[in-house]
Amino acid sequence: MPFGLSRRATVWIAGLIVATNGFFPAIWILLTSLKTETELIRSPITWLPEAATLHNYATAFTAQPILRFMWNSFVVASLSTILCVLVSALAAYALTRLRMPHRNLIMSVLLAVAMFPLIALMVPLFKVMRELGLLNTYLALILPYAVLSLPVCTLVMASFFQDIPPDLEAAAMVDGCTRVGALFRVIIPLSAPGVFTAAILAFVNAWDEFLLALTMMNRVNMRTLSVGITLYQGEFAFPWPLISAALIIAIVPICIIIAVFQERVVGGLTQGGVKG
Amino acid sequence: MTETAIQPKKDLSERALGALLLAPAALLLLVIVVYPIATLFWNSLHGVDNANVAAGEQFVGLKNYVTAFEDDRFWGSAWHTILYIVVTVPGSLLVGLGLALLANMPFKVKWPVRLGLLLPWALPLVFAGLIFRWFFEYRTGVVNDTLMRLGFEPLSWLSDPDLAFTAISIAIIWKSSSFMALMLLAGLQTIPKSLYEAAEVDGASKWQQFVEITLPMLRPAIFVALIFRTITAIQTFDIPYAMTGGGPGDSTETLAMYIHKTTLDFLDFGYGSALAALMFVLSMAATSGYLKYTRRSSGRAGED
Protein backbone atom coordinates (compact mmCIF):
# COMPACT_ATOMS: atom_id res chain seq x y z
CA MET A 1 0.00 0.00 0.00
CA PRO A 2 1.16 3.55 -0.70
CA PHE A 3 2.97 5.42 2.10
CA GLY A 4 3.09 2.20 4.13
CA LEU A 5 -0.54 2.55 5.22
CA SER A 6 -2.52 -0.55 6.00
CA ARG A 7 -5.19 -1.52 3.51
CA ARG A 8 -7.92 -0.61 5.98
CA ALA A 9 -6.50 2.83 6.60
CA THR A 10 -6.19 3.51 2.87
CA VAL A 11 -9.83 2.60 2.31
CA TRP A 12 -10.88 4.80 5.22
CA ILE A 13 -8.91 7.79 3.95
CA ALA A 14 -10.25 7.34 0.40
CA GLY A 15 -13.82 7.29 1.71
CA LEU A 16 -13.19 10.31 3.88
CA ILE A 17 -11.82 12.34 0.95
CA VAL A 18 -14.80 11.56 -1.30
CA ALA A 19 -17.36 12.18 1.43
CA THR A 20 -15.71 15.42 2.58
CA ASN A 21 -15.51 16.72 -0.97
CA GLY A 22 -19.22 16.10 -1.41
CA PHE A 23 -20.52 17.15 1.98
CA PHE A 24 -18.24 20.01 3.05
CA PRO A 25 -20.09 22.82 1.23
CA ALA A 26 -23.44 21.67 2.62
CA ILE A 27 -22.00 21.33 6.13
CA TRP A 28 -20.40 24.77 5.95
CA ILE A 29 -23.70 26.28 4.85
CA LEU A 30 -25.47 24.50 7.71
CA LEU A 31 -22.98 25.95 10.21
CA THR A 32 -23.33 29.44 8.68
CA SER A 33 -27.10 29.25 8.89
CA LEU A 34 -26.87 28.83 12.67
CA LYS A 35 -24.67 31.91 13.19
CA THR A 36 -25.67 35.50 13.87
CA GLU A 37 -24.61 38.38 11.62
CA THR A 38 -22.37 39.73 14.39
CA GLU A 39 -20.57 36.44 14.84
CA LEU A 40 -20.11 36.22 11.08
CA ILE A 41 -18.01 39.36 10.71
CA ARG A 42 -15.57 38.41 13.45
CA SER A 43 -11.97 37.87 12.35
CA PRO A 44 -10.57 35.23 12.31
CA ILE A 45 -13.87 33.58 11.53
CA THR A 46 -15.35 31.00 13.84
CA TRP A 47 -15.95 27.52 12.47
CA LEU A 48 -18.59 26.24 14.84
CA PRO A 49 -21.34 28.67 15.80
CA GLU A 50 -20.77 30.00 19.32
CA ALA A 51 -24.40 30.60 20.15
CA ALA A 52 -26.40 28.58 17.65
CA THR A 53 -29.67 30.24 16.67
CA LEU A 54 -32.62 29.25 14.52
CA HIS A 55 -33.45 32.91 13.97
CA ASN A 56 -32.24 32.82 10.35
CA TYR A 57 -34.66 30.02 9.55
CA ALA A 58 -37.57 32.01 10.94
CA THR A 59 -36.49 35.00 8.83
CA ALA A 60 -36.05 32.80 5.74
CA PHE A 61 -39.73 31.90 5.85
CA THR A 62 -40.91 35.52 6.21
CA ALA A 63 -38.40 37.50 4.10
CA GLN A 64 -39.44 35.69 0.91
CA PRO A 65 -42.36 33.36 0.16
CA ILE A 66 -40.07 30.32 0.22
CA LEU A 67 -42.90 27.84 0.73
CA ARG A 68 -44.58 29.28 -2.33
CA PHE A 69 -41.30 28.88 -4.29
CA MET A 70 -41.14 25.31 -3.12
CA TRP A 71 -44.73 24.64 -4.13
CA ASN A 72 -44.06 26.14 -7.60
CA SER A 73 -40.98 23.94 -8.02
CA PHE A 74 -42.95 20.93 -6.86
CA VAL A 75 -45.86 21.53 -9.27
CA VAL A 76 -43.59 22.21 -12.24
CA ALA A 77 -41.21 19.34 -11.50
CA SER A 78 -43.87 16.71 -10.86
CA LEU A 79 -46.14 17.58 -13.77
CA SER A 80 -43.23 17.80 -16.21
CA THR A 81 -41.96 14.46 -14.86
CA ILE A 82 -45.31 12.77 -15.47
CA LEU A 83 -45.51 14.19 -18.99
CA CYS A 84 -41.91 13.27 -19.77
CA VAL A 85 -42.15 9.72 -18.47
CA LEU A 86 -45.38 9.07 -20.36
CA VAL A 87 -44.10 10.44 -23.66
CA SER A 88 -40.72 8.77 -23.42
CA ALA A 89 -42.21 5.42 -22.37
CA LEU A 90 -44.22 5.35 -25.60
CA ALA A 91 -41.18 6.42 -27.63
CA ALA A 92 -38.88 3.92 -25.93
CA TYR A 93 -41.39 1.14 -26.57
CA ALA A 94 -41.65 2.00 -30.26
CA LEU A 95 -37.88 2.14 -30.58
CA THR A 96 -37.09 -1.09 -28.77
CA ARG A 97 -40.02 -3.50 -29.19
CA LEU A 98 -41.35 -2.67 -32.65
CA ARG A 99 -39.64 -3.32 -35.93
CA MET A 100 -39.29 0.29 -36.96
CA PRO A 101 -37.30 1.46 -39.96
CA HIS A 102 -34.42 3.86 -39.19
CA ARG A 103 -34.55 3.14 -35.47
CA ASN A 104 -31.02 4.34 -34.79
CA LEU A 105 -31.54 7.45 -36.84
CA ILE A 106 -34.67 8.39 -34.89
CA MET A 107 -32.83 7.79 -31.63
CA SER A 108 -29.92 9.98 -32.77
CA VAL A 109 -32.23 12.78 -33.86
CA LEU A 110 -34.02 12.58 -30.50
CA LEU A 111 -30.71 12.93 -28.69
CA ALA A 112 -29.38 15.66 -30.94
CA VAL A 113 -32.53 17.74 -30.66
CA ALA A 114 -32.43 17.54 -26.91
CA MET A 115 -28.80 18.62 -26.79
CA PHE A 116 -29.64 22.02 -28.19
CA PRO A 117 -28.19 24.66 -25.93
CA LEU A 118 -30.90 25.88 -23.60
CA ILE A 119 -29.90 29.51 -24.06
CA ALA A 120 -30.43 29.30 -27.84
CA LEU A 121 -33.82 27.79 -27.12
CA MET A 122 -34.63 30.29 -24.39
CA VAL A 123 -34.51 33.33 -26.66
CA PRO A 124 -37.20 32.23 -29.16
CA LEU A 125 -39.12 30.21 -26.57
CA PHE A 126 -39.56 33.36 -24.49
CA LYS A 127 -41.10 35.05 -27.51
CA VAL A 128 -43.35 32.08 -28.27
CA MET A 129 -44.56 31.87 -24.68
CA ARG A 130 -45.14 35.62 -24.56
CA GLU A 131 -47.23 35.47 -27.73
CA LEU A 132 -49.23 32.57 -26.33
CA GLY A 133 -49.72 34.48 -23.08
CA LEU A 134 -48.09 31.67 -21.15
CA LEU A 135 -45.43 33.70 -19.32
CA ASN A 136 -45.83 33.32 -15.56
CA THR A 137 -47.81 30.12 -15.96
CA TYR A 138 -46.68 26.65 -14.95
CA LEU A 139 -47.11 25.45 -18.53
CA ALA A 140 -44.25 27.71 -19.69
CA LEU A 141 -41.86 25.54 -17.68
CA ILE A 142 -43.62 22.17 -17.70
CA LEU A 143 -43.37 21.74 -21.48
CA PRO A 144 -39.68 22.66 -21.85
CA TYR A 145 -38.70 20.61 -18.79
CA ALA A 146 -40.44 17.56 -20.23
CA VAL A 147 -38.27 17.98 -23.34
CA LEU A 148 -35.17 18.56 -21.24
CA SER A 149 -35.35 15.07 -19.75
CA LEU A 150 -36.83 13.33 -22.78
CA PRO A 151 -33.52 11.81 -24.01
CA VAL A 152 -32.29 10.48 -20.70
CA CYS A 153 -35.72 9.06 -19.82
CA THR A 154 -36.05 7.42 -23.23
CA LEU A 155 -32.57 5.90 -22.93
CA VAL A 156 -33.11 4.58 -19.42
CA MET A 157 -36.50 3.06 -20.24
CA ALA A 158 -35.33 1.67 -23.57
CA SER A 159 -32.56 -0.23 -21.83
CA PHE A 160 -35.08 -1.73 -19.38
CA PHE A 161 -37.62 -2.57 -22.09
CA GLN A 162 -34.93 -4.32 -24.10
CA ASP A 163 -34.31 -6.85 -21.34
CA ILE A 164 -37.88 -8.13 -21.20
CA PRO A 165 -38.20 -11.42 -23.10
CA PRO A 166 -40.48 -11.03 -26.18
CA ASP A 167 -42.31 -14.26 -25.19
CA LEU A 168 -43.97 -12.55 -22.26
CA GLU A 169 -45.45 -9.91 -24.51
CA ALA A 170 -46.47 -12.52 -27.07
CA ALA A 171 -48.18 -14.55 -24.36
CA ALA A 172 -50.15 -11.51 -23.24
CA MET A 173 -51.28 -10.90 -26.80
CA VAL A 174 -52.32 -14.52 -27.24
CA ASP A 175 -54.46 -14.00 -24.13
CA GLY A 176 -56.25 -11.24 -25.97
CA CYS A 177 -54.24 -8.15 -25.04
CA THR A 178 -53.67 -5.57 -27.75
CA ARG A 179 -50.12 -4.36 -28.31
CA VAL A 180 -50.76 -1.16 -26.42
CA GLY A 181 -52.53 -3.19 -23.73
CA ALA A 182 -49.43 -5.36 -23.46
CA LEU A 183 -47.30 -2.25 -23.09
CA PHE A 184 -49.28 -1.02 -20.10
CA ARG A 185 -50.04 -4.42 -18.54
CA VAL A 186 -46.78 -6.27 -19.13
CA ILE A 187 -43.89 -4.12 -20.24
CA ILE A 188 -44.31 -1.12 -17.95
CA PRO A 189 -45.05 -3.11 -14.76
CA LEU A 190 -42.05 -5.35 -15.47
CA SER A 191 -39.78 -2.36 -16.01
CA ALA A 192 -41.12 -0.43 -13.03
CA PRO A 193 -37.60 0.17 -11.67
CA GLY A 194 -36.61 1.73 -15.01
CA VAL A 195 -39.71 3.91 -15.15
CA PHE A 196 -39.08 4.96 -11.58
CA THR A 197 -35.41 5.79 -12.23
CA ALA A 198 -36.37 7.85 -15.26
CA ALA A 199 -38.92 9.72 -13.15
CA ILE A 200 -36.38 10.58 -10.45
CA LEU A 201 -33.89 11.91 -13.00
CA ALA A 202 -36.56 14.01 -14.71
CA PHE A 203 -37.73 15.37 -11.37
CA VAL A 204 -34.25 16.40 -10.21
CA ASN A 205 -33.48 17.98 -13.61
CA ALA A 206 -36.63 20.07 -13.43
CA TRP A 207 -36.14 20.96 -9.76
CA ASP A 208 -32.61 22.25 -10.46
CA GLU A 209 -33.19 24.21 -13.68
CA PHE A 210 -32.43 27.92 -13.46
CA LEU A 211 -32.15 29.74 -16.81
CA LEU A 212 -35.65 29.05 -18.15
CA ALA A 213 -37.18 29.52 -14.71
CA LEU A 214 -35.47 32.90 -14.49
CA THR A 215 -36.77 33.88 -17.92
CA MET A 216 -40.34 32.57 -18.02
CA MET A 217 -41.43 33.55 -14.51
CA ASN A 218 -40.84 37.15 -13.50
CA ARG A 219 -43.65 37.47 -10.97
CA VAL A 220 -42.33 36.80 -7.49
CA ASN A 221 -45.05 34.36 -6.50
CA MET A 222 -44.44 32.29 -9.65
CA ARG A 223 -40.68 31.95 -9.08
CA THR A 224 -39.34 28.46 -8.58
CA LEU A 225 -36.99 27.59 -5.75
CA SER A 226 -33.73 27.78 -7.72
CA VAL A 227 -34.50 31.37 -8.75
CA GLY A 228 -36.26 32.31 -5.51
CA ILE A 229 -33.14 31.62 -3.46
CA THR A 230 -31.25 34.35 -5.34
CA LEU A 231 -33.84 36.90 -4.18
CA TYR A 232 -32.53 36.79 -0.60
CA GLN A 233 -29.51 38.87 -1.50
CA GLY A 234 -29.80 42.62 -1.22
CA GLU A 235 -28.59 45.04 -3.85
CA PHE A 236 -25.16 45.28 -2.26
CA ALA A 237 -25.35 43.20 0.89
CA PHE A 238 -25.20 39.47 1.18
CA PRO A 239 -26.85 38.33 4.41
CA TRP A 240 -25.01 35.00 4.37
CA PRO A 241 -26.61 33.43 7.45
CA LEU A 242 -30.06 34.12 6.00
CA ILE A 243 -29.09 32.92 2.51
CA SER A 244 -27.55 29.81 4.07
CA ALA A 245 -30.72 29.06 6.00
CA ALA A 246 -32.78 29.44 2.82
CA LEU A 247 -30.33 27.17 0.96
CA ILE A 248 -30.60 24.51 3.63
CA ILE A 249 -34.42 24.62 3.48
CA ALA A 250 -34.20 24.37 -0.31
CA ILE A 251 -31.81 21.42 -0.46
CA VAL A 252 -33.64 19.26 2.10
CA PRO A 253 -36.06 17.84 -0.52
CA ILE A 254 -33.19 16.99 -2.91
CA CYS A 255 -31.21 15.39 -0.09
CA ILE A 256 -34.19 13.21 0.86
CA ILE A 257 -34.65 12.10 -2.75
CA ILE A 258 -31.02 11.15 -3.32
CA ALA A 259 -30.67 9.55 0.11
CA VAL A 260 -33.72 7.34 -0.34
CA PHE A 261 -33.15 6.46 -3.99
CA GLN A 262 -29.35 6.62 -4.17
CA GLU A 263 -28.80 3.29 -5.91
CA ARG A 264 -31.50 3.95 -8.50
CA VAL A 265 -30.16 7.41 -9.24
CA VAL A 266 -26.59 6.18 -9.70
CA GLY A 267 -27.84 3.34 -11.91
CA GLY A 268 -29.95 5.66 -14.04
CA LEU A 269 -27.25 8.28 -14.43
CA THR A 270 -24.60 5.84 -15.54
CA GLN A 271 -27.01 4.01 -17.82
CA GLY A 272 -28.08 7.23 -19.50
CA GLY A 273 -24.46 8.26 -19.83
CA VAL A 274 -22.69 5.07 -20.78
CA LYS A 275 -25.34 3.84 -23.17
CA GLY A 276 -25.86 7.30 -24.64
CA MET B 1 -46.26 -19.16 -48.35
CA THR B 2 -48.75 -17.83 -45.84
CA GLU B 3 -45.92 -16.41 -43.79
CA THR B 4 -44.59 -14.28 -46.62
CA ALA B 5 -48.10 -13.14 -47.35
CA ILE B 6 -48.77 -12.09 -43.75
CA GLN B 7 -45.38 -10.52 -43.06
CA PRO B 8 -45.72 -7.24 -45.03
CA LYS B 9 -49.15 -6.50 -43.59
CA LYS B 10 -47.93 -7.09 -40.03
CA ASP B 11 -44.93 -4.90 -40.74
CA LEU B 12 -47.14 -2.10 -41.89
CA SER B 13 -49.31 -2.13 -38.81
CA GLU B 14 -46.25 -2.26 -36.59
CA ARG B 15 -44.93 0.73 -38.46
CA ALA B 16 -48.18 2.61 -38.03
CA LEU B 17 -48.29 1.79 -34.34
CA GLY B 18 -44.67 2.86 -33.98
CA ALA B 19 -45.37 6.17 -35.67
CA LEU B 20 -48.37 6.67 -33.40
CA LEU B 21 -46.33 5.99 -30.27
CA LEU B 22 -43.55 8.33 -31.40
CA ALA B 23 -46.03 11.07 -32.27
CA PRO B 24 -46.29 12.65 -28.78
CA ALA B 25 -42.51 12.93 -28.50
CA ALA B 26 -42.30 14.33 -32.03
CA LEU B 27 -45.05 16.85 -31.30
CA LEU B 28 -43.39 18.00 -28.10
CA LEU B 29 -40.03 18.42 -29.85
CA LEU B 30 -41.69 20.25 -32.71
CA VAL B 31 -43.40 22.80 -30.46
CA ILE B 32 -40.65 23.29 -27.89
CA VAL B 33 -37.51 22.87 -30.00
CA VAL B 34 -37.91 22.84 -33.77
CA TYR B 35 -40.37 25.71 -34.17
CA PRO B 36 -38.58 28.06 -31.75
CA ILE B 37 -35.20 27.31 -33.37
CA ALA B 38 -36.67 28.07 -36.79
CA THR B 39 -38.04 31.39 -35.54
CA LEU B 40 -34.67 32.05 -33.89
CA PHE B 41 -32.98 32.30 -37.29
CA TRP B 42 -35.88 34.36 -38.66
CA ASN B 43 -35.79 36.73 -35.67
CA SER B 44 -32.05 37.14 -36.04
CA LEU B 45 -32.67 38.83 -39.41
CA HIS B 46 -34.84 41.47 -37.76
CA GLY B 47 -34.19 44.51 -35.65
CA VAL B 48 -35.64 47.73 -34.36
CA ASP B 49 -34.40 50.89 -36.09
CA ASN B 50 -33.51 53.33 -33.32
CA ALA B 51 -34.44 56.28 -35.55
CA ASN B 52 -37.89 54.85 -36.13
CA VAL B 53 -38.87 52.82 -33.08
CA ALA B 54 -42.58 53.11 -33.79
CA ALA B 55 -42.21 51.00 -36.94
CA GLY B 56 -41.37 47.99 -34.75
CA GLU B 57 -39.18 45.14 -35.89
CA GLN B 58 -37.97 45.48 -39.45
CA PHE B 59 -36.18 43.04 -41.70
CA VAL B 60 -32.52 44.00 -41.56
CA GLY B 61 -30.86 41.07 -43.31
CA LEU B 62 -27.52 40.03 -41.88
CA LYS B 63 -26.95 43.33 -40.09
CA ASN B 64 -27.10 41.71 -36.62
CA TYR B 65 -24.40 39.23 -37.59
CA VAL B 66 -22.19 42.02 -38.89
CA THR B 67 -22.72 43.85 -35.61
CA ALA B 68 -21.74 40.70 -33.70
CA PHE B 69 -18.45 40.38 -35.55
CA GLU B 70 -17.58 43.97 -34.66
CA ASP B 71 -18.79 43.66 -31.06
CA ASP B 72 -15.90 43.37 -28.59
CA ARG B 73 -18.20 42.23 -25.83
CA PHE B 74 -19.39 39.33 -28.01
CA TRP B 75 -15.80 38.23 -28.73
CA GLY B 76 -14.90 38.72 -25.07
CA SER B 77 -17.75 36.56 -23.84
CA ALA B 78 -17.03 33.92 -26.49
CA TRP B 79 -13.38 33.93 -25.41
CA HIS B 80 -14.35 33.50 -21.73
CA THR B 81 -16.64 30.61 -22.68
CA ILE B 82 -13.78 28.92 -24.52
CA LEU B 83 -11.48 29.49 -21.53
CA TYR B 84 -14.04 27.88 -19.21
CA ILE B 85 -14.23 24.90 -21.57
CA VAL B 86 -10.46 24.57 -21.85
CA VAL B 87 -9.95 24.80 -18.08
CA THR B 88 -12.97 23.07 -16.57
CA VAL B 89 -13.41 20.12 -18.95
CA PRO B 90 -9.95 18.61 -18.33
CA GLY B 91 -10.11 19.87 -14.74
CA SER B 92 -13.29 18.03 -13.90
CA LEU B 93 -12.04 14.95 -15.78
CA LEU B 94 -8.91 14.81 -13.62
CA VAL B 95 -10.76 15.46 -10.35
CA GLY B 96 -13.54 13.11 -11.41
CA LEU B 97 -11.07 10.36 -12.26
CA GLY B 98 -9.42 10.81 -8.87
CA LEU B 99 -12.77 10.64 -7.09
CA ALA B 100 -13.80 7.58 -9.12
CA LEU B 101 -10.58 5.73 -8.26
CA LEU B 102 -11.04 6.54 -4.57
CA ALA B 103 -14.73 5.61 -4.67
CA ASN B 104 -13.88 2.28 -6.31
CA MET B 105 -12.20 0.98 -3.15
CA PRO B 106 -13.84 -1.95 -1.34
CA PHE B 107 -15.93 -0.04 1.23
CA LYS B 108 -17.93 -1.96 3.79
CA VAL B 109 -20.42 0.86 4.17
CA LYS B 110 -21.15 2.30 0.75
CA TRP B 111 -23.64 5.11 1.32
CA PRO B 112 -21.36 7.94 2.56
CA VAL B 113 -19.23 7.67 -0.55
CA ARG B 114 -22.20 7.30 -2.87
CA LEU B 115 -23.98 10.29 -1.34
CA GLY B 116 -20.72 12.22 -1.39
CA LEU B 117 -20.74 11.83 -5.17
CA LEU B 118 -24.48 12.35 -5.59
CA LEU B 119 -24.92 15.53 -3.56
CA PRO B 120 -22.83 17.83 -5.80
CA TRP B 121 -24.65 16.41 -8.83
CA ALA B 122 -28.11 16.92 -7.33
CA LEU B 123 -27.44 20.45 -6.10
CA PRO B 124 -28.76 23.14 -8.47
CA LEU B 125 -25.87 24.87 -10.26
CA VAL B 126 -26.98 28.25 -8.97
CA PHE B 127 -26.84 26.98 -5.37
CA ALA B 128 -23.29 25.76 -5.94
CA GLY B 129 -22.50 29.22 -7.32
CA LEU B 130 -23.94 30.94 -4.24
CA ILE B 131 -22.12 28.60 -1.85
CA PHE B 132 -18.77 29.17 -3.56
CA ARG B 133 -19.38 32.90 -3.64
CA TRP B 134 -19.65 32.66 0.13
CA PHE B 135 -16.44 30.57 0.29
CA PHE B 136 -14.53 33.19 -1.70
CA GLU B 137 -15.82 36.28 0.18
CA TYR B 138 -12.90 38.58 0.94
CA ARG B 139 -13.38 39.21 4.68
CA THR B 140 -15.48 36.35 5.94
CA GLY B 141 -14.98 33.56 3.40
CA VAL B 142 -13.50 30.24 4.43
CA VAL B 143 -10.90 30.30 1.64
CA ASN B 144 -9.22 33.52 2.73
CA ASP B 145 -9.55 32.44 6.36
CA THR B 146 -7.61 29.27 5.55
CA LEU B 147 -5.01 31.25 3.60
CA MET B 148 -4.50 33.60 6.56
CA ARG B 149 -4.24 30.74 9.05
CA LEU B 150 -1.51 29.29 6.82
CA GLY B 151 0.29 32.64 6.88
CA PHE B 152 -0.63 33.95 3.43
CA GLU B 153 -2.21 37.26 2.46
CA PRO B 154 -5.96 37.15 1.75
CA LEU B 155 -6.83 37.44 -1.95
CA SER B 156 -9.57 39.59 -3.46
CA TRP B 157 -11.03 36.60 -5.27
CA LEU B 158 -14.17 38.06 -6.78
CA SER B 159 -13.00 41.57 -7.63
CA ASP B 160 -9.89 40.67 -9.60
CA PRO B 161 -10.60 39.38 -13.14
CA ASP B 162 -8.07 36.51 -13.11
CA LEU B 163 -8.86 35.42 -9.58
CA ALA B 164 -12.61 35.59 -10.29
CA PHE B 165 -12.08 33.34 -13.29
CA THR B 166 -10.09 30.95 -11.09
CA ALA B 167 -12.73 30.93 -8.35
CA ILE B 168 -15.54 30.31 -10.84
CA SER B 169 -13.55 27.51 -12.48
CA ILE B 170 -13.00 25.86 -9.10
CA ALA B 171 -16.74 26.00 -8.40
CA ILE B 172 -17.58 24.55 -11.83
CA ILE B 173 -15.04 21.77 -11.42
CA TRP B 174 -16.37 20.90 -7.96
CA LYS B 175 -19.94 20.82 -9.25
CA SER B 176 -19.29 18.78 -12.41
CA SER B 177 -16.56 16.38 -11.28
CA SER B 178 -18.88 14.20 -9.23
CA PHE B 179 -21.06 13.38 -12.24
CA MET B 180 -17.84 12.59 -14.13
CA ALA B 181 -16.80 10.36 -11.23
CA LEU B 182 -20.13 8.49 -11.27
CA MET B 183 -19.80 7.78 -14.99
CA LEU B 184 -16.14 6.75 -14.71
CA LEU B 185 -16.92 4.62 -11.66
CA ALA B 186 -19.45 2.67 -13.73
CA GLY B 187 -16.69 2.18 -16.32
CA LEU B 188 -14.19 1.06 -13.67
CA GLN B 189 -16.58 -1.55 -12.37
CA THR B 190 -16.81 -3.23 -15.77
CA ILE B 191 -13.04 -3.91 -15.88
CA PRO B 192 -12.51 -7.61 -15.12
CA LYS B 193 -10.54 -8.21 -11.90
CA SER B 194 -8.66 -11.03 -13.66
CA LEU B 195 -6.73 -8.49 -15.74
CA TYR B 196 -5.23 -6.96 -12.59
CA GLU B 197 -4.54 -10.39 -11.10
CA ALA B 198 -2.67 -11.42 -14.25
CA ALA B 199 -0.68 -8.17 -14.19
CA GLU B 200 0.11 -8.74 -10.52
CA VAL B 201 1.53 -12.18 -11.37
CA ASP B 202 3.68 -10.58 -14.07
CA GLY B 203 5.07 -8.20 -11.47
CA ALA B 204 3.49 -4.99 -12.81
CA SER B 205 3.47 -2.05 -10.38
CA LYS B 206 0.25 -0.28 -9.39
CA TRP B 207 1.16 2.62 -11.68
CA GLN B 208 1.84 0.28 -14.62
CA GLN B 209 -1.51 -1.41 -14.00
CA PHE B 210 -3.21 2.00 -14.05
CA VAL B 211 -1.55 3.06 -17.31
CA GLU B 212 -1.70 -0.29 -19.10
CA ILE B 213 -5.11 -1.60 -17.94
CA THR B 214 -7.28 1.03 -16.25
CA LEU B 215 -6.82 3.92 -18.64
CA PRO B 216 -7.25 1.96 -21.92
CA MET B 217 -10.28 0.07 -20.57
CA LEU B 218 -11.79 3.35 -19.36
CA ARG B 219 -11.35 5.13 -22.68
CA PRO B 220 -14.96 4.83 -23.92
CA ALA B 221 -16.34 6.06 -20.57
CA ILE B 222 -13.86 8.95 -20.53
CA PHE B 223 -14.81 9.94 -24.05
CA VAL B 224 -18.55 10.00 -23.33
CA ALA B 225 -17.99 11.90 -20.09
CA LEU B 226 -15.83 14.48 -21.90
CA ILE B 227 -18.43 15.08 -24.59
CA PHE B 228 -21.21 15.48 -22.02
CA ARG B 229 -19.09 17.88 -20.01
CA THR B 230 -18.11 19.92 -23.10
CA ILE B 231 -21.73 20.33 -24.16
CA THR B 232 -22.66 21.63 -20.71
CA ALA B 233 -19.53 23.81 -20.52
CA ILE B 234 -20.52 25.61 -23.74
CA GLN B 235 -23.69 26.69 -21.95
CA THR B 236 -22.00 27.91 -18.74
CA PHE B 237 -24.38 30.36 -17.12
CA ASP B 238 -25.61 29.67 -13.59
CA ILE B 239 -22.35 29.57 -11.64
CA PRO B 240 -20.77 32.80 -12.96
CA TYR B 241 -24.22 34.42 -12.76
CA ALA B 242 -24.41 33.59 -9.06
CA MET B 243 -20.75 34.26 -8.24
CA THR B 244 -19.89 37.48 -10.06
CA GLY B 245 -22.81 38.32 -12.35
CA GLY B 246 -20.17 38.46 -15.11
CA GLY B 247 -17.96 40.97 -13.33
CA PRO B 248 -15.72 42.63 -12.47
CA GLY B 249 -16.61 44.60 -15.61
CA ASP B 250 -17.43 41.94 -18.17
CA SER B 251 -14.36 39.89 -17.34
CA THR B 252 -16.09 36.63 -16.41
CA GLU B 253 -19.14 36.99 -18.63
CA THR B 254 -19.95 33.95 -20.79
CA LEU B 255 -21.69 33.87 -24.14
CA ALA B 256 -24.87 32.54 -22.53
CA MET B 257 -24.87 35.40 -20.02
CA TYR B 258 -24.34 38.01 -22.72
CA ILE B 259 -27.18 36.57 -24.79
CA HIS B 260 -29.44 36.59 -21.73
CA LYS B 261 -28.58 40.21 -20.96
CA THR B 262 -29.01 41.31 -24.57
CA THR B 263 -32.42 39.73 -24.84
CA LEU B 264 -33.98 40.28 -21.43
CA ASP B 265 -32.17 43.31 -19.99
CA PHE B 266 -31.43 45.31 -23.14
CA LEU B 267 -34.55 43.86 -24.86
CA ASP B 268 -32.69 43.69 -28.18
CA PHE B 269 -34.43 40.63 -29.54
CA GLY B 270 -32.95 40.60 -33.02
CA TYR B 271 -29.39 40.91 -31.82
CA GLY B 272 -29.94 38.39 -29.02
CA SER B 273 -31.32 35.97 -31.58
CA ALA B 274 -28.29 36.41 -33.83
CA LEU B 275 -25.95 35.72 -30.90
CA ALA B 276 -28.00 32.69 -29.89
CA ALA B 277 -27.92 31.42 -33.47
CA LEU B 278 -24.12 31.70 -33.49
CA MET B 279 -23.96 29.80 -30.23
CA PHE B 280 -26.33 27.20 -31.61
CA VAL B 281 -23.98 26.56 -34.52
CA LEU B 282 -21.03 26.27 -32.13
CA SER B 283 -22.71 23.66 -29.99
CA MET B 284 -24.13 21.73 -32.93
CA ALA B 285 -20.54 21.20 -34.05
CA ALA B 286 -19.81 19.61 -30.67
CA THR B 287 -22.99 17.52 -30.75
CA SER B 288 -22.35 16.21 -34.24
CA GLY B 289 -18.89 15.14 -33.14
CA TYR B 290 -20.54 13.25 -30.32
CA LEU B 291 -23.09 11.60 -32.61
CA LYS B 292 -20.40 10.62 -35.07
CA TYR B 293 -18.56 8.90 -32.26
CA THR B 294 -21.58 6.99 -30.92
CA ARG B 295 -22.63 6.01 -34.44
CA ARG B 296 -19.14 4.70 -35.13
CA SER B 297 -18.86 2.80 -31.86
CA SER B 298 -22.31 1.22 -32.17
CA GLY B 299 -21.47 0.30 -35.77
CA ARG B 300 -18.31 -1.35 -34.58
CA ALA B 301 -20.21 -3.26 -31.91
CA GLY B 302 -22.52 -4.53 -34.64
CA GLU B 303 -19.65 -5.78 -36.79
CA ASP B 304 -17.94 -7.70 -34.00
B73: in domain: yes
Q: How confident is the model at residue B55 (pLDDT cuts 50, 70, 90)?
A: low
pLDDT at site B295: 61
pLDDT at site B168: 95
Evaluate if residue B9 carries a pLDDT over 90.
no
Mean pLDDT within B82-88: 93
Note down the domain range covering B117: 59-303
Could you give the CA distance from residue B34 to residue B28 in angstroms, rounded to a whole number?
Answer: 9
pLDDT at site B105: 86
Lowest-confidence pick of A66-75, A136-145, A231-240, B64-73 = A231-240
B18: in domain: no
Interface test mutation site (partner A, options B9, B11, B28, B146, max chain A beta carbons within 10 A) = B28
Interface test mutation site (partner B, options A6, A10, A18, A142, max chain B beta carbons within 10 A) = A18
pLDDT at site B297: 57
Could you give the CA distance from residue B14 to residue A101 in angstroms, rounded to a whole number?
Answer: 10
Name, of A76-80, B152-156, B180-184, the range with top average pLDDT.
Answer: A76-80
CB-CB under 8 Å, B43 with A210: no
pLDDT at site B131: 94
B11: in domain: no
Give the ipTM: 0.88
Q: Assign residue B118 the CATH number of its domain.
A: 1.10.3720.10
pLDDT at site B302: 35
B42: in domain: no
**CB of A39 closer than 8 Å to CB of A50:** yes
Q: How confident is the model at residue A223 (pLDDT cuts 50, 70, 90)?
A: very high
B136: in domain: yes
Evaluate if residue B88 carries a pLDDT over 60.
yes
CB-CB under 8 Å, B37 with A124: yes
pLDDT at site B7: 44
Give the SS3 label for residue A249.
helix
With the C-alpha atoms ordered B199, B204, B210, B216, is the resulting torsion angle positive or negative?
negative
Q: How confident is the model at residue A217 (pLDDT cuts 50, 70, 90)?
A: very high
- Number of structural domains in chain B: 1
B298: in domain: yes
User: Which of B189-197's residues contact partners 24+ apart within 8 Å by CB, and which partners?
Assistant: B189/B104, B190/B217, B191/B217, B191/B218
Nearest-by-CA chain B residue for A103: B18
B194: in domain: yes
Q: Among residues 164-223 of chain A, which lie with CB inside 8 Å of chain B?
A: 179-180, 204, 207-211, 215
Q: How confident is the model at residue B52 (pLDDT cuts 50, 70, 90)?
A: low
Nearest-by-CA chain B residue for A272: B183
Domains of chain A in start order, with CATH, are 55-275 (1.10.3720.10)
CA torsion B237-B243-B246-B252 (nearest 10°) is: -90
Lowest-confidence pick of A105-109, A124-128, A210-214, A253-257 = A105-109
A38 touches chain B (CB under 8 A): no
The residue count of chain B comes to 304
Name, of B49-58, B258-267, B287-296, the range with top average pLDDT.
Answer: B258-267
pLDDT at site A106: 83
A31 touches chain B (CB under 8 A): no
CB-CB under 8 Å, B15 with A115: no
Q: How confident is the model at residue B5 (pLDDT cuts 50, 70, 90)?
A: very low
Mean pLDDT within B152-159: 89
pLDDT at site A266: 83
